[in-house]
Structure 1
């Protein structure tokens, strides 16, 4: 399912933003456990990659995305464009925490959904800059002046091994444990959310994605593909196509956002 690009401006003095997004089942999976949503009017983007079997993963990611979009969307609409980054960070954290409790409760009530969970990455774009919240190994990147930088750090077994000096990033690429996350939404009554705030420059391009993209495309390839001077929706389609051409081993989801006028 693909969504067409849309633009918004939360403040006449702020930068208007353009979005494009798509989620794809991939080449090997029969169902899509990823979920995505964005609200151009509020500058809110949410992406989740579910875990927990055929039914559970889909339910967990759909619940998480819908709840964060609804809870945070209401808050953003009431707070207005002049709200500062610190308040947005607090609201995003609270929205994710509420979604975690709802998913965890649902997994305990329904035996068929027991053990379900999901990664989540969400960003709020506006005059305050970009506020990012994430859990798990879905990521947010920024392309600035042609250079790609990861703005999130995976909560995963492999990242922990790399941080401890037990494995190099190159060794991690071939590890059979690539999909073992150490933190996820919905698997416990409480959850720790990593939050970040970034100032925005004209020309920036932000990418939210599931590991179905980053497992199939290296950061160097991502940087090269994102540099292409093509419409934003075409960039999204290109990333999906390359991930699938490289094997498409998992569901792959992409959200791109940039200030309008960016190349």
Structure 2
């Protein structure tokens, strides 16, 4: 049985001031410990089709697979946990479905989406992403970006042609080098780590981090702490007040203490029943 970490989730999404429709998609299953965000691309509403396929497919696949897994069990060949391998396979399944949908309907030719997600299990978290949607972690009052953008500008930063501040204003900063649905296969970056009580994980589309810098994101989270609902609202509001040139979406996840008083009621009941 999958031993999910106790979490609280808050999310917000907004079309912004420029775009006519929202191509971002967000989803979560707190009981399963999964949060997902996708930022679609493509004309004739194809972006929102791609992002919704990604979120729905991943949640459906993990709801089917994760409950039957043993927490922390390692894949003997690859060295990742079974949960991480399930996450990767769900993303690859989403890539296949988007690609097939684009091949079968010329209106959606070339559609794709970024993807960032986290799956919490026990005291572990699996992080996976494709594209430039980001995941940040707030721990001990310090914000850290845990994903690396799959963009041309990030590759230039890595090779020393730009620094991070120059990259923020570069004309080609949003040109992604990876996305779901563009090719029959895709490389998925995965990361495993400890999820500590009090950690806050932020998933966001580039409509957030293009509009406000990391120091503003950090300050906003600190000002609202520990209220992640208020934090999500303020992050989106500040992105809109800074121009709102793109769809903006955020998903905030706070890892709870496993002490019964800090858990949601349904988790407290389960914990008490296990002890009796």
TM-score, normalised on structure 2? 0.87
The one of 65, 90, 107 aligned to 1:75: 65
Q: CA deviation at 1:260?
A: 2.5
CA distance in 2, matches of 1:213, 1:247: 10
1:259 aligned residue: 255
1:148 aligned residue: 143
The one of 164, 168, 171 aligned to 2:166: 171
Unaligned runs of 5+ in 1: 1-9
Q: Is the 8 A contact 1:83 1:128 kept in 2?
A: no
- Residues 231-242 of structure 1 mapped to structure 2, 5 A cutoff: 231-242=227-238
Q: CA deviation at 1:126?
A: 2.2
Matched, 1:59 2:64: no
CA distance in 1, matches of 2:50, 2:66: 24
* Matched position secondary structure for 2:116: strand
Q: Is the 8 A contact 1:35 1:62 kept in 2?
A: yes
CA distance in 2, matches of 1:259, 1:15: 7
1:97 aligned residue: 92
Cα-Cα RMSD? 1.6
Give the number of the structure whose alpha-carbon radius of gyration is greater. 2
Q: CA deviation at 1:80?
A: 5.6
Q: CA deviation at 1:76?
A: 1.1
The one of 34, 50, 58 aligned to 1:44: 34
Q: CA deviation at 1:178?
A: 1.8
1:218 aligned residue: 213
Judging changes above 3 Å, is the alpha-carbon distance between structure 1 residues 247 and 190 closer, same or farther for their aligned structure 2 residues? same
* Matched position secondary structure for 1:75: helix
Q: Is the 8 A contact 2:120 2:195 kept in 1?
A: no
Matched, 1:126 2:121: yes
1:182 aligned residue: 177
CA distance in 2, matches of 1:15, 1:63: 26
Alignment coverage as a number of residue pairs? 251
Unaligned runs of 5+ in 2: 75-79, 263-276
Q: CA deviation at 1:15?
A: 4.5
Matched, 1:197 2:187: no
CA distance in 1, matches of 2:232, 2:161: 35
CA distance in 2, matches of 1:42, 1:80: 13
* Matched position secondary structure for 1:190: coil
CA distance in 1, matches of 2:226, 2:5: 20
TM-score, normalised on structure 1? 0.91
CA distance in 1, matches of 2:222, 2:101: 42
1:109 aligned residue: 104
CA distance in 2, matches of 1:185, 1:50: 9
CA distance in 2, matches of 1:15, 1:132: 14
